[in-house]
Chain A
Amino acid sequence: DAKTTQPPSMDCAEGRAANLPCNHSTISGNEYVYWYRQIHSQGPQYIIHGLKNNETNEMASLIITEDRKSSTLILPHATLRDTAVYYCIVSKQAGTALIFGKGTTLSVSS
């Protein structure tokens, strides 16, 4: 699976949009971009995934660049409960297991 690069930490003010970047320059054509988050002492939680097109669900939006070499996870109105470690992972949809990196620690403050 392709590797990803994420900043180790980011800060965001409550109520503002949190934009978390991820670089995946070696992604192959059949690999998806997945985002998970992990709140302290809990298991990771699935957020969203996409292949080429931008995706939106009740939790977040995923913007993938046209060349698919990078993506951004957007939390439109961050709350204190969004403070967590966010993992960007690229993987084939079916088959091998997801491989987690160290992720980005997002701190939302009031």
Chain B
Amino acid sequence: DTGVSQDPRHKITKRGQNVTFRCDPISEHNRLYWYRQTLGQGPEFLTYFQNEAQLEKSRLLSDRFSAERPKGSFSTLEIQRTEQGDSAMYLCASSFTGTGSGYTFGSGTRLTIV
């Protein structure tokens, strides 16, 4: 297993455009998490899935953000009508319920809005 994969690694887009990120978790992990991180801050929780069900969403997740995990495997995070403030590193993590072994994070997608 190659760990948690995120694609793309970097994305530059114009303000107002839509962007979509993909996360492939560790195959046997049933939980998947999305975080956002800005410079100098710790990762901020956005949302998480258990299998295909989205169980929790942060207040940070405005209606311009939507996340899916259609078959309980990979997940996508879409941002519509991007704004300058959306520039950040978007991190994905996965874990398996009950093991208590912590999350495995991907390397993130760095989004820059120009």
Hey, which chain B residues are within 8 Å of A87, CB to CB? 42
| Size class of the contact patch on chain A | 20 to 34
CB distance from B26 to the nearest CB of A (A): 12
- Interface stretch (choices B63-71, B72-80, B94-102): B94-102
Give complex CA distance A101, B42 in Å: 5
> Is the CB–CB distance between B56 and A97 below 8 Å?
yes
Q: Determine whether B48 belongs to the interface, using a CB cutoff of 8 Å to chain A.
A: yes
B interface residues, how many (CB within 8 angstroms):
24
Hey, which chain A residues are within 8 Å of B35, CB to CB? 100
CB distance from A9 to the nearest CB of B (A): 12
Hey, which chain A residues are within 8 Å of B44, CB to CB? 100
Q: Determine whether A44 belongs to the interface, using a CB cutoff of 8 Å to chain B.
A: yes
- Mark interface residues in A80-107 (1 if CB within 8 Å of B CB, else 0): 0000010100000110111111110000
Nearest chain A residue, comparing its CB with the CB of B105:
A43
A44 touching B45 in the complex, CB below 8 Å, given contacts A32-B100, A98-B103: no
CB distance from B95 to the nearest CB of A (A): 9
Hey, which chain B residues are within 8 Å of A101, CB to CB? 42
In B31-55, which residues have CB < 8 Å from any A CB? 33, 35, 40-45, 48
Give complex CA distance A22, B91 in Å: 24
Give complex CA distance A98, B106 in Å: 15
Hey, which chain A residues are within 8 Å of B107, CB to CB? 42-43
Give complex CA distance A46, B94 in Å: 12
Instruction: Please list the 9 inter-chain residue pairs (A to B) with the smallest Cβ-Cβ separation, ordered nearest first.
Output: A43-B105, A46-B102, A100-B42, A97-B45, A93-B100, A100-B43, A44-B105, A97-B48, A43-B91
- Residues of B whose CB lies within 8 Å of any CB of A are 4, 33, 35, 40-45, 48, 56, 91, 93, 97-98, 100-108
Known: A93-B100, A97-B56, A102-B40. 10 other contacts (CB 8 A): A36-B103, A43-B106, A43-B108, A44-B43, A44-B103, A85-B42, A94-B97, A97-B33, A100-B43, A102-B42
